[in-house]
């Protein structure tokens, strides 16, 4: 949590070959330079190991904000003949063609997603904006990662991380909504990654994640479970935390609101618009289930605080059913059999992913972490109910069907894109030297970035002999 979007890569494109500006001759040249810088940053980011990509997100963001004003300015000049308040003339030599990697499309295992040619400035602009949204989501992931590690952060650090992640997710939501307006200006067919239905789904997904993490700051149970499995923890004798009744009911309604947003995202990603990556579809469904299970857990906390332990246990069992988990056994304090070994192994594997900063941690939308909290609470409350309260446990289905409606927490603000200022536009009026070439980037342009750049050694050849390119498949 949130979803680990892969940043797309793009081809090397000289805008001077497609457009010219009699009023601002340096505009295509400067835009090409900024686009090449963005292309290099994306390619370098993809080749970094997952543990180093989080630190490189700032470089990618700077490259996007450097090229985005030029792309927006060219699009504005093409449609209205103005950039801001200044008239700008743009003439097209031929239709602009760019290439972007489709990271949301389903592909065969071991193969790169396709990088089809895209026509028009609006398709290029939509991918630049979508890459910025992916960058914001990745920055939110890097902030939330510290909350799930074995080293419990301080309350101030926890609050700051959640606030930053929330801000990034809300900005991603506003960017996806802004892309919807681009397609109303350019009715041409858009690729699967940027069609309207995908943008609606990604905007709803970002809002669902932003809503769900609002309860993390004041959710002591998740922190208690993380602390309980820390081998170096010395505070295991402290009693379980409690949540006031009003706060628990509020958190339940926030969880149900997040579930509604995730359901809207799942409906927008329904089959019919193309073949999407199955991991994204599974994540959206897991997020919906996790949000409803978290809401049921807070309603259980509300019931337990008022002395209704039997009803609280019923809510917990309904939450486990929402996650698709089997009921706990009678003696669940010790995991037994193959199922217990498998569950313990899955939890340890997820812990290692979080500690190492793997790019696929949290791919289950927090379902495994929520299952740990539910198991911890049910074992505790069942033991308490069997020894002290002795209340009947009602069926969970009527309770789950009667849960309250969701409550909105966020009011997303519209995206405010950067623009070219007046002083920069004045400099772009300068005539260009025909011997001056735009920066085309340091990275090689290849349709498959996964191909190794090292020379391939041919088996049986003389020592030191190597063949460049893809001749590693040569055999005798």
Q: How far apart are CA 464 and CA 454, in angstroms?
A: 13
Burial class (CB within 10 angstroms; exposed 0-12, middle 13-18, buried 19+) of 56: middle
Q: Is position 46 within any domain?
A: yes
- Contact residues for 397 (Cβ-Cβ < 8 A; gap 6+): 318
Q: How far apart are CA 92 and CA 289, in angstroms?
A: 50
pLDDT tens-digit profile of 65-83? 999 999 999 999 988 888 8
* Highest averaged pLDDT of the listed ranges 112-121, 178-187, 377-386: 377-386
Same domain, 155 and 34: yes
Q: How far apart are CA 467 and CA 469, in angstroms?
A: 7
Q: What is the mean pLDDT of the chain?
A: 81
Whole-number percent of the chain with pLDDT over 90: 35
- Contact residues for 110 (Cβ-Cβ < 8 A; gap 6+): none
Q: Is position 173 within any domain?
A: yes
What is the extent of the structural domain holding 174? 1-194+415-445
Same domain, 252 and 159: no
Same domain, 164 and 249: no
pLDDT tens-digit profile of 39-69? 999 999 999 988 888 899 999 999 999 999 9
- Contact residues for 286 (Cβ-Cβ < 8 A; gap 6+): 364, 365, 366, 367
Q: Are 141 and 4 contacting, i.e. CB atoms less than 8 angstroms apart?
A: yes
Q: Is position 207 within any domain?
A: no
Same domain, 95 and 150: yes
Q: Is position 205 within any domain?
A: no
Burial class (CB within 10 angstroms; exposed 0-12, middle 13-18, buried 19+) of 237: exposed
Same domain, 230 and 179: no
Q: Are 257 and 308 contacting, i.e. CB atoms less than 8 angstroms apart?
A: no
Query: Residue 145's pLDDT is what?
Result: 82
Q: How far apart are CA 94 and CA 98, in angstroms?
A: 12
Q: Is position 30 within any domain?
A: yes
Q: Are 138 and 361 contacting, i.e. CB atoms less than 8 angstroms apart?
A: no
Long-range contacts of 348-352 (CB under 8 A, 24+ apart): 351/150, 351/229
pLDDT tens-digit profile of 234-260? 554 455 555 555 688 899 999 999 999
Same domain, 423 and 459: no
Cβ-based neighbour number of residue 163 at 10 Å: 13
Query: Residue 252's pLDDT is what?
Result: 93
* Highest averaged pLDDT of the listed ranges 173-182, 324-333, 358-367: 173-182
Residue 200 has pLDDT above 90, yes or no: yes
Q: What are the structure tokens assigned to 410, written together?
A: 């966020």
Same domain, 457 and 365: no
Domain count of the fold of the chain: 3
Same domain, 241 and 376: yes
Residue with tokens 């609006």: 122
445-to-68, 222, 299, 429, 449 alpha-carbon distances in Å: 21, 46, 55, 31, 8
- Pick the closest to residue 29 from 332, 334, 433 (CA basis): 433
Same domain, 456 and 404: no
| Cα dihedral sign, 378-380-386-391 | negative
Same domain, 130 and 178: yes
Query: Residue 333's pLDDT is what?
Result: 52
Q: Is position 200 within any domain?
A: no
Of the pLDDT bands very low, low, confident and very high (cuts 50, 70, 90), residue 224 is confident
Query: Residue 436's pLDDT is what?
Result: 61
Q: How far apart are CA 197 and CA 356, in angstroms?
A: 35
Q: Are 144 and 165 contacting, i.e. CB atoms less than 8 angstroms apart?
A: yes
**Cα angle: 446, vertex 133, 55; to 5 degrees:** 70
Q: Is position 209 within any domain?
A: no
Same domain, 14 and 33: yes
Q: Which of 408, 430, 464 is the last residue of a domain?
A: 408
B/e letters for 330-357, b = 16+ CB within 10 Å, e = fewer, are eeeeeeeeeeeeebeeeeeebbebbeeb
Same domain, 143 and 10: yes
Residue with tokens 């063609």: 97
pTM of the model: 0.85
pLDDT tens-digit profile of 408-464? 998 889 999 898 888 888 888 888 766 666 666 666 655 544 444 444 444 555 555
pLDDT tens-digit profile of 352-402? 666 666 666 778 888 888 888 898 899 889 988 888 878 899 999 999 999
Q: Is position 211 within any domain?
A: no
- Contact residues for 47 (Cβ-Cβ < 8 A; gap 6+): 449
Query: Residue 256's pLDDT is what?
Result: 95
């Amino acid at each position: 949590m949130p979803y680990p979007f892969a940043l797309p890569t793009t081809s090397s494109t000289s805008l001077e070959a497609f457009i010219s500006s009699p009023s601002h001759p340096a505009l295509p040249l400067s835009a090409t330079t900024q686009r090449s810088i963005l292309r290099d940053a994306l390619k370098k980011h993809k080749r970094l190991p997952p543990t180093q990509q989080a630190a490189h997100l700032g470089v990618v963001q700077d490259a996007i904000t450097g090229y985005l004003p030029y792309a927006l300015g060219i699009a504005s000049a093409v449609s209205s003949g103005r950039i801001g308040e200044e008239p700008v003339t743009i003439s097209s030599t031929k239709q602009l063609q760019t290439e972007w990697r489709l990271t949301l499309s389903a592909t065969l295992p071991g193969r790169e997603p396709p990088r089809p040619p895209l026509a028009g400035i609006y398709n290029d602009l939509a991918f630049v904006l979508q890459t910025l949204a992916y960058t914001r989501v990745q920055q939110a992931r890097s902030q939330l990662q510290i909350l799930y590690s074995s080293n419990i952060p301080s309350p101030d650090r926890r609050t700051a991380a959640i606030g930053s992640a929330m801000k990034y997710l809300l900005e991603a939501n506003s960017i996806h909504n802004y892309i919807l307006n681009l397609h109303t200006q350019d009715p041409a067919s858009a690729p699967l990654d940027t069609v309207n239905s995908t943008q609606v789904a990604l905007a709803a997904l970002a809002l669902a994640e932003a809503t769900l993490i609002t309860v993390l700051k004041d959710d002591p149970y998740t922190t208690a479970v993380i602390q309980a499995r820390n081998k170096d923890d010395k505070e295991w004798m402290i009693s379980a935390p409690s949540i006031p009744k009003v706060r628990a009911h509020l958190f339940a309604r926030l969880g149900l609101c997040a579930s509604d947003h995730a359901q809207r995202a799942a409906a927008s990603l329904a089959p019919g618009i193309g073949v999407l990556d199955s991991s994204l579809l599974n994540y959206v469904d897991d997020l919906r289930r996790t949000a409803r299970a978290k809401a049921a857990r807070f309603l259980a906390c509300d019931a337990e605080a008022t002395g209704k332990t039997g009803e609280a246990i019923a809510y917990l069992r309904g939450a486990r059913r929402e996650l698709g988990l089997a009921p706990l056994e009678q003696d669940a304090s010790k995991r037994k059999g193959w199922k217990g070994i498998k569950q313990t192994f899955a939890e340890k594997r997820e812990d290692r992913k979080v500690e190492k900063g793997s790019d696929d941690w949290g791919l289950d939308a927090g379902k495994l972490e929520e299952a740990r909290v539910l198991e911890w609470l049910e074992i505790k409350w069942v033991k308490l109910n069997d020894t002290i309260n002795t209340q009947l446990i009602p069926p969970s289905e009527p309770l789950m069907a009667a849960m309250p409606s969701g409550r909105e927490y966020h009011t997303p603000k519209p995206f405010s894109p950067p623009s070219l200022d007046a002083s920069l536009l004045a400099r772009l009026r300068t005539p260009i030297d025909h011997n001056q070439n735009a920066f085309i980037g340091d990275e090689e342009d290849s349709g498959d970035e996964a191909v190794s750049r090292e020379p391939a050694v041919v088996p049986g050849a003389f020592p030191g002999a190597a063949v460049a390119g893809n001749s590693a498949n040569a055999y005798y």
